[in-house]
A and B are shown apart, each in its own frame.
Chain A
């Protein structure tokens, strides 16, 4: 401030009030005024409480006389600057309305005073008059303009108070001043003011704020006026770089103004971006301000607020109730269905769970109920569907808090809403649910009955269902009341989620041959596996016709079928009949064997006998579910046993998998995701065992074959065993390169055929001397690697061989596709003619041959490469790509050799390099999401190791790390993006996937879990 005297003077009244307690230090100032000095001296001389009171009383009387209207009027005319100043202060502080006319001319005169402090005080006094008696100062508006253009900044600033007030009341009368305000603001922002006006090196912040407010009022709904201020607003936004609270205050005001005036999209965007600086700030006051600013943004254009949705969601969980409430204001005012569903969800959860303070909860709920009811009262207003859903939930839950309005009235309102055609049936379902909650509280139920009548005939199944529920509950009021208690939305009701009371019914139906229930994922899986069977069959056929050509023996054929029968899940997929059996057991498992995991795990170790016992258990339990060990019942169930008997021949593996699948279903839908981890985990282990088992059993099946074959197989089995233990440490399918088998551990479903293809080849063709083939492989690899070094690729692995050739393959993970290279090595000393590799079209894959060496001849000891680029057409975990190679040796008949490679989803995942901002945009544009909490082992340094694992194993791109959260992005080739947001809470890891593809998040989640468990 420019004038020290003025400051001291303004502080004096405060001192007067304080002087009882101030005492000593005030003495220093005593010389300032003799009267004050006298008072101070009087106070120091005090001896008793009574004397003190007397002195104060006397002093107050003196003061009253001093500040009385006549004295003040005299003072105003004084030539003493200090006296005039004091008088003006008194006028503006305590002057009564009736006295205004008496002093008004005097004060008007003071507007022309030579001293700026007097002019300023005069303006402030007039401002006060304007506040208490606006009519009386109407005639001096012209003089205000003069004050606005005063050469002293203080006077100008004082006049802004009046202008803000006047413009608020009637902005159209002051449009012509816009230019002046803009110029002033420009000067202030440009630092043209004396440095005295700086506050922490920010030029006159409060003045800026005042000006911005005025501009906001002037530019409202007025394009022409607004255009005048775009530049200066832009500059204000730009200038506010300094990281000081007061800059944020200016910035906030600026954002407010930008959103108040006629919109300019460029400016709106800049302002919205600015808000990011607030909401992301760790300083809570700034966060608050940011949220407040967000409400302005949302009112104007909800899409601009989308980039801050994550913050909104987080702020709803903020420990400070003030922040929460501000966030809710933002949510309240959100005007569109573009809003992310999590926001209203969190909002409702917040309402339901409440804060620590119970009364505050009730107030908040009541506030919500009341505001919603008022909103519903308004005619012809259209609200977003989601908003209506939130409304109906809140009304259903908390209307009981209302004193005035009865439940009937609320129901009537909701009913009116129901009859509205513009409301979606989903919202209607919400409304009926709300009505259902209110019905037990209502005394009369005419409307409810009308509603039931109307909606039990509704064409919408969901609505009809709700209406019927209401109808039946309505008939049994007691049940209804116990079912729908007040304010219990957070407490879990105990329900029999397994629907065990229906078990008898189900068992009966099953004995009568009814088709068993298949849960959704089971049906899907079946569908998938059927597709895979289709892939498998032609392969099997051609196999026996070519591979077995030389020595076709019945044993060989039986071996083939046995092999498939025993092989893990292929058995399940083999025929329809078998599959059905499997599922029947599943039903048996569903409600009855909730904790069979460990048991089945043990059982898979044992030979087929336990299978029967498992089944028997299932069967008993269908009947006597309360006692799983109750054996005598089983005799009554011979029939079921017979029905199920054929499934004895299903491989153990398929059984255990089904058990596990079934188990998951006993857990209510809500927790399914959670149980899935367990499920997949155990699935993995059992399937691992299955692989071993299947190879063992296949070896036992061929005991009547030649000895060396058996040995060979058993050797193989042993080898696999070793590999299994190895692979349990290295789950990553890509880093595993040794043999197809190892990869198959993460991929049990499809690997079996190729495994057996391999085995069979060895049965019928004496195995090659290993060292030689290894050497070949090495040389081959060396030759191949040269051309592919720029891309990441897998190691070379042999997929099939015979006496003449050996086919190896490897994958190159190019940025834009997966390249699979098959290299055919001619081991024989003879030239191979018309060598051709063919990959028949496979489902889920798009295969394109890359032109390579086209000569159909492979010379002796020569190698030929075939390259295929593969794209995944729709996401899935693992897939098998099979093909065959044909060649002719010395013009003899053509030989065909089958092979297959295994492709995993990860082969098609590439990092998606995007910025955090793009991530935010993409995130909001994706509708499909999957959330999952994963527990991590304690040894992990959570964030770091997880990131590393995800980056390395899954090839996710780390977009950003914010505190304990990470943003990752990847894409499924060719271009399906998938985003991952994860957050570490203690030893929990919350994963959240989003993608434009509905199935991709699920598959990726599965892969992630695999990685987590592996690391």
Chain B
């Protein structure tokens, strides 16, 4: 099950976040910083799934934009990985200019 959804730029700033379970605002910032740090530190040869606390993080990079999804361990990582791509494709379909210039 998806727990949260993040869009982050390369500088580590959160551009969009969506939590599917209640998390306190100040804890969110902390969580986001840590999540972003662990995603940014990974190279392209490493796999796109990371374990972070109780979550599994699945991330995908689109140019300067990272999309990170936190799921619990019952989730199928590859399905989420492709889901991210589906999401981006949909965004691209409708708001291609918005996404390219502004989301970052």
**Which residues does A use to contact B, with CB under 8 Å?**
1, 7-8, 11, 14, 17-18, 21-23, 25-26, 199, 205-206, 209, 245-246, 248-250, 252-253, 256, 284-289, 292, 319-320, 322-323, 325
When the two chains form the complex, which single residue of A11, A245, A322 contacts B95, counting CB atoms closer than 8 Å? A11
9 additional contacts (CB under 8 A) given A205-B82, A249-B79, A320-B45: A11-B95, A14-B16, A199-B82, A245-B78, A246-B78, A246-B82, A253-B76, A322-B47, A322-B49
Task: Give Cα A322–Cα B45 distance, bound, in whole angstroms.
Answer: 12
Map CB proximity to A onto B66-94 as digits: 1 under 8 Å, 0 otherwise.
00000000001111011100100011001
Inter-chain contact A25/B49, CB cutoff 8 Å: no
Residues from chain B with a CB closer than 8 A to the CB of A18 are: 16, 102-103
Instruction: Given A22-B98, A206-B83, A249-B82, check contact A323 B47 (CB 8 Å).
Output: yes
**Which of chain A's residues has its CB closest to B101's CB?**
A25
Contacts between chains A and B (CB distance < 8 A), count: 79
Residues from chain A with a CB closer than 8 A to the CB of B78 are: 245-246, 248-249, 252, 285-286, 289
Inter-chain contact A22/B49, CB cutoff 8 Å: no
Residues from chain B with a CB closer than 8 A to the CB of A14 are: 16
Residues from chain B with a CB closer than 8 A to the CB of A205 are: 79, 82
B48 within 8 Å of A by Cβ? yes
Closest 3 CB pairs of A and B: A249-B78, A249-B79, A284-B47
Offer 26 A-B interface pairs, CB within 8 angstroms, sorted by A. Answer: A1-B90, A7-B90, A7-B94, A14-B16, A17-B16, A18-B102, A21-B102, A23-B102, A25-B95, A25-B102, A199-B86, A245-B81, A246-B79, A246-B82, A249-B79, A249-B81, A253-B76, A253-B79, A285-B47, A285-B81, A288-B47, A292-B77, A319-B46, A320-B47, A322-B47, A322-B49
Task: Give Cα A17–Cα B48 distance, bound, in whole angstroms.
Answer: 28
**Which of chain A's residues has its CB closest to B79's CB?**
A249
**Which of chain B's residues has its CB closest to A325's CB?**
B51
B40 within 8 Å of A by Cβ? no
Residues from chain A with a CB closer than 8 A to the CB of B91 are: 11
Residues from chain B with a CB closer than 8 A to the CB of A17 are: 16
Whole-angstrom distance between the Cβ of B21 and the nearest chain A Cβ? 10
Whole-angstrom distance between the Cβ of A865 and the nearest chain B Cβ? 65
When the two chains form the complex, which single residue of B47, B82, B90, B103 contacts A245, counting CB atoms closer than 8 Å? B82
Residues from chain B with a CB closer than 8 A to the CB of A26 are: 98
Task: Give Cα A450–Cα B90 distance, bound, in whole angstroms.
Answer: 70
Residues from chain A with a CB closer than 8 A to the CB of B82 are: 199, 205, 245-246, 249
Residues from chain A with a CB closer than 8 A to the CB of B37 are: none
B10 within 8 Å of A by Cβ? no
**Which of chain B's residues has its CB closest to A10's CB?**
B90
Residues from chain B with a CB closer than 8 A to the CB of A11 are: 91, 94-95
Instruction: Given A17-B16, A322-B50, check contact A25 B76 (CB 8 Å).
Output: no
Task: Give Cα A252–Cα B95 distance, bound, in whole angstroms.
Answer: 33
Inter-chain contact B76/A252, CB cutoff 8 Å: yes
Task: Give Cα A250–Cα B46 distance, bound, in whole angstroms.
Answer: 22
B28 within 8 Å of A by Cβ? no
Residues from chain A with a CB closer than 8 A to the CB of B50 are: 322
When the two chains form the complex, which single residue of A249, A286, A287 contacts B76, counting CB atoms closer than 8 Å? A249
Residues from chain B with a CB closer than 8 A to the CB of A323 are: 47
The interface centre, meaning the residue of B82, B90, B101 with most chain A CB atoms within 10 A of its CB, is B82
Residues from chain A with a CB closer than 8 A to the CB of B77 are: 249, 285, 288-289, 292
Instruction: Given A14-B16, A22-B102, check contact A209 B79 (CB 8 Å).
Output: yes
Inter-chain contact A322/B94, CB cutoff 8 Å: no
Task: Give Cα A22–Cα B95 distance, bound, in whole angstroms.
Answer: 11
Task: Give Cα A363–Cα B85 distance, bound, in whole angstroms.
Answer: 33
Residues from chain A with a CB closer than 8 A to the CB of B101 are: 25
**Which of chain B's residues has its CB closest to A283's CB?**
B47
Task: Give Cα A1–Cα B77 distance, bound, in whole angstroms.
Answer: 23
Inter-chain contact A319/B51, CB cutoff 8 Å: no
Map CB proximity to A onto B32-49 as digits: 1 under 8 Å, 0 otherwise.
000000000000011111
**Which of chain B's residues has its CB closest to A25's CB?**
B98
Inter-chain contact B97/A25, CB cutoff 8 Å: yes
Task: Give Cα A14–Cα B87 distance, bound, in whole angstroms.
Answer: 13
Whole-angstrom distance between the Cβ of A271 and the nearest chain B Cβ? 15
Inter-chain contact A288/B94, CB cutoff 8 Å: no
Whole-angstrom distance between the Cβ of B9 and the nearest chain A Cβ? 11
Inter-chain contact A206/B79, CB cutoff 8 Å: yes
**Which of chain A's residues has its CB closest to B46's CB?**
A320
Inter-chain contact A285/B90, CB cutoff 8 Å: no
Residues from chain A with a CB closer than 8 A to the CB of B102 are: 18, 21-23, 25
**Which of chain A's residues has its CB closest to B99's CB?**
A25
Whole-angstrom distance between the Cβ of A802 and the nearest chain B Cβ? 73
Residues from chain B with a CB closer than 8 A to the CB of A253 are: 76, 79
When the two chains form the complex, which single residue of A1, A22, A322 contacts B46, counting CB atoms closer than 8 Å? A322
Whole-angstrom distance between the Cβ of A517 and the nearest chain B Cβ? 52
Whole-angstrom distance between the Cβ of A875 and the nearest chain B Cβ? 44
The interface centre, meaning the residue of B47, B51, B98, B103 with most chain A CB atoms within 10 A of its CB, is B47
Task: Give Cα A252–Cα B78 distance, bound, in whole angstroms.
Answer: 9
Task: Give Cα A971–Cα B104 distance, bound, in whole angstroms.
Answer: 63
Inter-chain contact A288/B49, CB cutoff 8 Å: yes
Whole-angstrom distance between the Cβ of A965 and the nearest chain B Cβ? 20
When the two chains form the complex, which single residue of B49, B51, B86 contacts A285, counting CB atoms closer than 8 Å? B49
Residues from chain B with a CB closer than 8 A to the CB of A206 are: 79, 83
Task: Give Cα A199–Cα B78 distance, bound, in whole angstroms.
Answer: 14
Residues from chain A with a CB closer than 8 A to the CB of B46 are: 284, 319-320, 322
Inter-chain contact B47/A209, CB cutoff 8 Å: no
Inter-chain contact B45/A319, CB cutoff 8 Å: yes
**Which of chain B's residues has its CB closest to A22's CB?**
B102
Residues from chain B with a CB closer than 8 A to the CB of A286 are: 78
**Which of chain A's residues has its CB closest to B90's CB?**
A7
Task: Give Cα A285–Cα B82 distance, bound, in whole angstroms.
Answer: 11
Task: Give Cα A249–Cα B77 distance, bound, in whole angstroms.
Answer: 8
Inter-chain contact A322/B16, CB cutoff 8 Å: no
Residues from chain A with a CB closer than 8 A to the CB of B81 are: 245, 249, 285
Residues from chain B with a CB closer than 8 A to the CB of A209 are: 76, 79
Whole-angstrom distance between the Cβ of B69 and the nearest chain A Cβ? 13
Residues from chain A with a CB closer than 8 A to the CB of B49 are: 285, 288, 322
The interface centre, meaning the residue of A249, A286, A292, A319 with most chain B CB atoms within 10 A of its CB, is A249
Whole-angstrom distance between the Cβ of B72 and the nearest chain A Cβ? 12
Task: Give Cα A289–Cα B47 distance, bound, in whole angstroms.
Answer: 10
Inter-chain contact B16/A287, CB cutoff 8 Å: no
Residues from chain A with a CB closer than 8 A to the CB of B86 are: 199
Task: Give Cα A976–Cα B97 distance, bound, in whole angstroms.
Answer: 68
Task: Enumerate B19-63 residues with CB–CB distance to A below 8 Å.
Answer: 45-51
Task: Give Cα A537–Cα B52 distance, bound, in whole angstroms.
Answer: 75
Inter-chain contact B51/A322, CB cutoff 8 Å: yes
Task: Give Cα A18–Cα B95 distance, bound, in whole angstroms.
Answer: 13
When the two chains form the complex, which single residue of B47, B51, B79, B97 contacts A287, counting CB atoms closer than 8 Å? B47
**Which of chain B's residues has its CB closest to A199's CB?**
B86
Residues from chain A with a CB closer than 8 A to the CB of B94 are: 7-8, 11
Whole-angstrom distance between the Cβ of A10 and the nearest chain B Cβ? 9
**Which of chain A's residues has its CB closest to B89's CB?**
A199
**Which of chain A's residues has its CB closest to B58's CB?**
A285
Residues from chain B with a CB closer than 8 A to the CB of A250 are: 79
Whole-angstrom distance between the Cβ of B71 and the nearest chain A Cβ? 13
Whole-angstrom distance between the Cβ of A205 and the nearest chain B Cβ? 7
Task: Give Cα A452–Cα B47 distance, bound, in whole angstroms.
Answer: 49
**Which of chain A's residues has its CB closest to B78's CB?**
A249
Task: Give Cα A942–Cα B98 distance, bound, in whole angstroms.
Answer: 54
Task: Give Cα A98–Cα B78 distance, bound, in whole angstroms.
Answer: 37
Whole-angstrom distance between the Cβ of A1003 and the nearest chain B Cβ? 41
Task: Give Cα A284–Cα B49 distance, bound, in whole angstroms.
Answer: 10
Residues from chain B with a CB closer than 8 A to the CB of A249 are: 76-79, 81-82
Task: Give Cα A500–Cα B2 distance, bound, in whole angstroms.
Answer: 66
Inter-chain contact B45/A285, CB cutoff 8 Å: no
Task: Give Cα A199–Cα B89 distance, bound, in whole angstroms.
Answer: 10
